[in-house]
Amino acid sequence: MKWYSVSTSDVERKLKTDLQQGLTQKEAQKRLLDNGPNELRQEERVSPIIVFLSQFKDFMVLVLLAATLISGILGEYMDAIAIMLIVFVNGILGFVQERKAERSLHALKQLASPKVQVLRNGSWMSIPSKEVVVGDIVRFTAGDRIGADIRLVESKSLSVEESALTGESIPAQKNAEAVLKGDHSPGDQENICFMGTMVTNGRGTGVVVATGMDTEMGKIAHLLTSEEGLQTPLQRRLEQLGKILILVALFLTALVVVIGVLQGHDLYTMFLAGVSLAVAAIPEGLPAIVTIALALGVQKMIRRRAIVRKLPSVETLGCATVICSDKTGTLTENKMTVTHLWSSGKSWHVTGTGFELTGDFLGPNGRVDLERMPALKQLLTFGVLCNNASIEQAGKKGKGNIQIHGDPTEVALMIAGMKAGIEASKLETAYQHIDEFPFDSERKMMSVIVKASDGQRYIVTKGAPDVVISRCAHILWNDRQSLMDERRKNDVHRKIEEMAEQALRTIAVGFRPLRNGETVSSAFEAESELTLIGLQGMIDPPRKEAMEAIRECQNAGIKTVMITGDHILTAKAIARELNMLPENGKVMEGKTLAALTIEELEQVVDDVYVFARVSPEHKLKIVKALQNRGHIVAMTGDGVNDAPAIKAANIGIAMGLTGTDVAREASSLVLSDDNFATIRAAIEEGRNIYENIRKFIRYLLASNVGEILVMLFAMLMSMPLPLVPIQILWVNLVTDGLPAMALGIDSAEEDVMKRSPRKTNEGVFSRGLGWKIISRGFLIGIVTIIAFAIAYYENPENLVRAQTVAFSTLVMAQLIHVFDCRSERSVFHRNPFGNIYLVLAVLSSIALLIVVVYYPPLQPIFHTTSLNIREWMLILGMAGIPTFALAGAHLFKRRKHVMLKRP
């Protein structure tokens, strides 16, 4: 029901209520039972046990558990315990993250007003907001939070802060008398007050037309519960990788068992070899190392003022192609600021943004002396006098902490005066406040009567320029009072249009001296025969850092889209100032957007850079259309209205300082400084983390390929097993684990923010990674089997010695290879000591290898024996071949290419 298009008498009739008496208690109880309490429903929470068990449903994990069972049956208890420990730790990490993620509705419920004033049986009473029913008559005043969706019946100077719902930074003026036709978004419904919004000025009475999940806030709650979270690109790729590795493991296991049996080996030995290959093929530590790498990335992000709520979101930022950004408080400061003044036929620019209490007044010839500009000074002075805002400051002017109270427009006028040294506290001695006619949405003006220290009384008026001008008989022109004729009116209107084109909210200020003995009994009498002093133009200014951050995002191939509930002119002006709206870029309003289907929007969405006057459903529609076009979408915002789109986006980003709890709880990333520039830093970090994940996947899989080939080559050549299962598992957990984690915190390469975003369909093995894994793994396998063959054929009776040589060769080849993984080119491209953590990890792994080889209590467990210098020379010589042979070939090829290019 479009209650904004229905008269109050029709509302009373349709809802079967009484505007004078309210509902009876009996009828209210009946409606409460029929429709349920006025609260936002929350889905039943899943049991923690179910959440924990769900961490083990991944196919890769199930195969590992099966391998654990087989290892236990075959008596390989060390293998079984080690695998179980890894799976359990990984499950705990996933459980902790998931239990933190879903609190959106709980935060949303806190916005409901705990108590509401209702009219029941002809008497006003205070009841809990959850007991309010449709048809209740309610009243509220400044400072109250609205407890339900209400069709106004009476309003007196009523303004409501709706930024959390509509995205507008200016409180909405409400008018009970209005009856609207056509379709209107919540931001335009001036006769409706919405659940969860705050009354900033005046008072009102109305009829409850919607409660609970039927309210605008309830619609958002429904969107939050119905919108599913998306898998991140990393999660999808690792899932694909796991399936590939499992298929490879099963194939090789079957191959080895069949070949071994055909060559005369007994079935038990071949089955044990097959299990060893399966363990070698699947990198058991990969999920844990990915989680740890992301966790380390989270710590980096915190230092860069971004708090990550969901680990995979760090990586997702790195492939973002579009950032959908709310305007108010994200790209702008959410602090109305007077930037332009016009008086006496002249214009000035005011410096300083937000709540800065210092600034300059600049004219065509530079800085102006206010003492020589009486009309300009009077404009600022009367803007402070006709004002109910208050600013409390501690410390020196412009430097101390300040507390702001009042309407943002009045705060802006107050701060503009303070920049000129005109403070309300000082004016109290010069001007005595006698009477006030508060702002009214019908008059669109506010007036005060003041008495100057010389006894002269003045009426001072401020308000909408067109209304104030219509009440002016004179104008200050060249610092003198002049008749407001058609010529002067045209001059003023041209200036108003000029300010409107700059998306400035314009306030006109006028005055009239009162004659001795003259009395004023009404606002109409006061606001007549005025003299126009001038205009003050204000805007919510863009963040200084946002422009540079947007430029860097553009260089990185990332499009920034503004999505706001604000007016189209304001949105367009801010977008142009931030250089985010190209010459041919389109701007779309909510009404146009609402008329399009998702499919129709998909056809034009790539050309649109600004969406204005949008509702929560519109934001969700935009995100969906972009995703359907193949984009990885980051959605930023701070209000309740942003939460569904934040949750639906590939990565949701909320503001930490000004954002609502709802937005923060729905998000994946929270900016602790509310700075758009922090998003750029987060994208850089996300890209680097993904590259680091590629590095250790390259390292782990090349190592595992080497292990597989060692076992396969031995079977094909009818040789004994060169590695036993516990050695393979030790390599996967210790030798692979520590260096892989160190790769996870490697520093970024120089051009990370000059590359285009990764394609959404880019596989893990793209950009030559698959070839590098196979070629390095092949060489690691070859040199290991050669070292094993040399040691075995020298002394066939001492299989443990040959296995120790193979084991040590494999470990050292991998530890040398890890330095090659730091660069896409070769081991010589980056300083090997540039990552001190990697150096320490390699030294630690070498130390652990020496302990396993030489410490007697561990030798029978790991099937090792002490080695001599000659054997170590063989090991190190073979281990260096895979890395340095390929690096040398790459260097030779590159030099040859350079030589050929020379003239």
Which residues lie below 8 Å from residue 857, measured CB to CB, with a gap of 6+?
none
Q: How far apart are CA 217 and CA 637, in angstroms?
A: 16
Cβ within 8 Å of residue 899, ≥6 positions away: none
Q: How many angstroms separate the CA atoms of 292 and 689, rounded?
A: 11
- Classify residue 897 as exposed, middle or buried by CB count within 10 Å of its CB (0-12, 13-18, 19+): exposed
Phi-psi domain of 639 (left: phi exceeds 0; alpha: psi -120 through 50; beta: other): beta
CA 405/CA 427 separation, integer angstroms: 18
Residue with tokens 């063959």: 789
Long-range (24+ apart) CB contacts under 8 A made by 393-400 are 393/357, 397/357, 397/358, 398/356, 398/357, 398/358
Buried/exposed 699-732: b ≥16 CB within 10 Å, e otherwise: bbbbbbbbbbbbbbbbbeeebebbbbbbbbbbbb
8-state DSSP, 168: -
Those residues whose C-beta lies under 8 Å from the C-beta of residue 583, and which sit 6 or more positions away, are none
* Joined tokens for residue 163: 């930024």
Calpha distance 68→472 (Å, rounded): 89
Element holding 729 (H helix, E strand): helix 725-730
What is the DSSP code string of 446-495? EEEEEEETTS-EEEEEEE-HHHHHHTEEEEEETTEEEE--HHHHHHHHHH
SS (H, E, C) 667-716: CCEEECCCCHHHHHHHHHHHHHHHHHHHHHHHHHHHHHHHHHHHHHHHHH
- DSSP letter for 829, please: S
- Residues 815/845, Cβ–Cβ less than 8 Å: yes
CA 598 to chain centroid, in Å, comes to 23
| Angular region, 36: left φ>0, alpha ψ -120 to 50, beta rest | left
Contacts of 695 (CB under 8 A, 6+ apart): 743, 744, 746, 821, 822
The torsion angle over the Cα atoms of residues 345, 347, 348 and 349, rounded to 10 degrees, is 160
**How does strand 322-326 pair with strand 559-563?**
parallel
Contact (CB, 8 A) for 651 and 634: yes
> Half-sphere exposure of residue 70, counting CA atoms within 13 Å on the CB side?
16
Structure tokens at 294: 């992301």
What does 596-656 look like in DSSP terms, one character per residue? S-HHHHHHHGGGEEEEES--HHHHHHHHHHHHHTT--EEEEE-SGGGHHHHHHSSEEEEES
What is the end-to-end Cα distance of the chain in Å, rounded?
79
Alpha carbon 495 to chain centroid, angstroms: 39
Active centre residues (catalytic): 326
Is 210 strand, coil or helix? Answer: strand
Query: Distance (Å, rounded) from C-alpha 634 to C-alpha 165?
Result: 20
Give the closest residue to 420 by CA, choosing from 476, 495, 362: 362
Residues contacting residue 155 through CB under 8 Å, at least 6 positions apart: 174, 175, 176, 177, 202, 203, 204, 205, 441
